[in-house]
Amino acid sequence: MPKISKRGTLMPNSPIRKLVPLAEEAEKNGKQVIRLNIGQPDIPTSDKALAAIRNLDVQVIEYSHSAGMISLRRKMAEYYKNNKIDVSYEDILITVGGSEAITLTLLTCLNAGDEILVPEPFYANYFSFATSADVKVVAITSHIEDGFSLPPIAEFEKKITEKTKGIIICNPNNPTGHVYSRKELEQIRDLVLKYDLFLLSDEVYREFVYDGEEFISAMRLEGMENHCILIDSLSKRYSATGLRTGALVTKNKQLRDTALKFCQARLSPPYVGQIAGEAALDSSDEYMNYVYNEYDHRRKFVVNALNKMPGVFCTMPKGAFYIMVKLPVDDSEKFAMWMLKEFDYQGNTLMVAPGAGFYTEGNLGKQEVRIAYVLNEEKLAIGMKCLEKALEAYPWRTTESVKAKSLV
């Protein structure tokens, strides 16, 4: 029997999805599992997108242009202009979700063996995309006690080698909810220019920034035209994760032309996802406000509930729809598995994403979990009650209490 590849062996199981079999087992056994492990919202998809799908009036579902439909790209350019990001449709390549945009950028910008810097905790799949592309992720640790703000630039500089070719940031951040300030972004820009790096800025949660915080796109930083790649997706904005319609946006023409060759190989992004995505861009203010307010409300609800639990620590996330929480447990993955396998409260249990998967070193995040506040208040309330009761019942609860210095 021929051997599986090394990269296949190195490839991690998704920390977000690896517990799925346990959840399925729990459900088979009659438990209700509140799934806050993954960013799959229960919020209805934009009705504009749904209507476009139901009114599809073509006879042949064709390939589109490899770069994506021009009408969609034009509409996205308009959207960006309204969001103070000055790009033309030619700067936009439509991708199969934000996922493909990241993979294409890594393949286009980095050689096998090159290194990319990422503040951790980070969206776990960055590690997977890098492994696919034979790229090494070099992490700079941010800390829950600081609200996961940008680590000192000196920490980045310490890790720069001649193989370092880029930096990935996620803003607003998944999993931490951090929104980068102008000062932080300017520090990153200076670093990028000093070492002639690429900056991948994953901004798929752009719409979800709370408490009057200002969102600043990396595309607005001066002097970064040839350095900055915006990673985007319509999935979260219009609550349509299954569309798989994302974008790679850059003013760097050589980069785009090269990425397009990879796009040509896979022929085209999904047709219906593009039609629906284009329609979604016309979503009403009413819908957008409803979605925003719903997340804002859920955020406050969850943080409030968490802060009432003894030994639990989190800071108020300023963006996206995730929160990293520190729990008084020996090992958050063991705890998450235990909740699915051994625990229920009135027939319910909770599924969360263990924190370690968002860090490069297993010990970091060992007491943390990521919670996605993507379900309605009723479900969140059950989930929070389960967490509270589970922490009381968990046999390996840590005796030393975590310093519950809330920044809320």
Restricted to residues 252-291, the positions that interact with a second copy (CB under 8 A) are 252, 254-255, 258-259, 261-262, 264-273, 276
Binding test (CB under 8 A) with a second copy, winner from 22, 27, 50, 385 = 50
**Angstrom distances, CA of residue 222 to CA of 191, 195, 284, 292, 338:** 13, 16, 32, 29, 49
Closer Cβ to a second copy, 240 or 309, answer by number: 240
Binding test (CB under 8 A) with a second copy, winner from 4, 82, 183, 363 = 4
Six-digit token string for 360: 């490069």
Please, what is the Cα angle at 152 between 146 and 153, to 5 degrees? 150
Closer Cβ to a second copy, 109 or 327, answer by number: 109
- Residue ranges in 219-248 that form contacts with a second copy under rule CB under 8 A: 226-227, 239-244
Binding test (CB under 8 A) with a second copy, winner from 21, 25, 29, 42 = 42
CB of 386 to a second copy, least distance (A): 22
CB of 408 to a second copy, least distance (A): 30
CB of 205 to a second copy, least distance (A): 15
Long-range contacts of 151-154 (CB under 8 A, 24+ apart): 151/119, 153/187, 153/188, 153/190, 153/191
**Angstrom distances, CA of residue 231 to CA of 98, 256, 257, 265, 328:** 6, 13, 16, 20, 35
Closer Cβ to a second copy, 56 or 407, answer by number: 56
CB of 9 to a second copy, least distance (A): 7
Binding test (CB under 8 A) with a second copy, winner from 22, 27, 40, 398 = 40
Six-digit token string for 90: 């030619």
Six-digit token string for 176: 């931490």
| 169 three-state secondary structure | strand
CB of 274 to a second copy, least distance (A): 8
- Residue ranges in 99-118 that form contacts with a second copy under rule CB under 8 A: 99-100, 103, 107-112, 114
- Asked whether position 5 contacts a second copy by CB under 8 A, the answer is yes
The CB density around residue 146, as the number of other CB atoms within 10 Å, is 12
Residues 6+ apart with CB under 8 A from 135: 106, 110, 112, 113, 114, 115, 116
- Asked whether position 166 contacts a second copy by CB under 8 A, the answer is yes
Q: How far apart are CA 270 and CA 277, in angstroms?
A: 10
CB of 134 to a second copy, least distance (A): 5
Six-digit token string for 200: 């991948």
- Asked whether position 61 contacts a second copy by CB under 8 A, the answer is yes
- Residue ranges in 374-403 that form contacts with a second copy under rule CB under 8 A: none
User: Of 135, 128, 167, which Cα lies nearest the Cα of 151?
Assistant: 167
CB of 166 to a second copy, least distance (A): 8
CB 22 within 8 A of CB 341: yes
- Asked whether position 43 contacts a second copy by CB under 8 A, the answer is yes
DSSP 8: H
Query: Is cis: bond before 119, omega within 30 of 0?
Result: no
The CB density around residue 208, as the number of other CB atoms within 10 Å, is 23
CB of 119 to a second copy, least distance (A): 20
Closer Cβ to a second copy, 97 or 383, answer by number: 97
CB of 129 to a second copy, least distance (A): 6
Binding test (CB under 8 A) with a second copy, winner from 22, 27, 83, 132 = 132
Give the contact letters, 67-106, x = binds to a second copy (CB under 8 A), - = no. Answer: -----------------------------xx-xx--x---
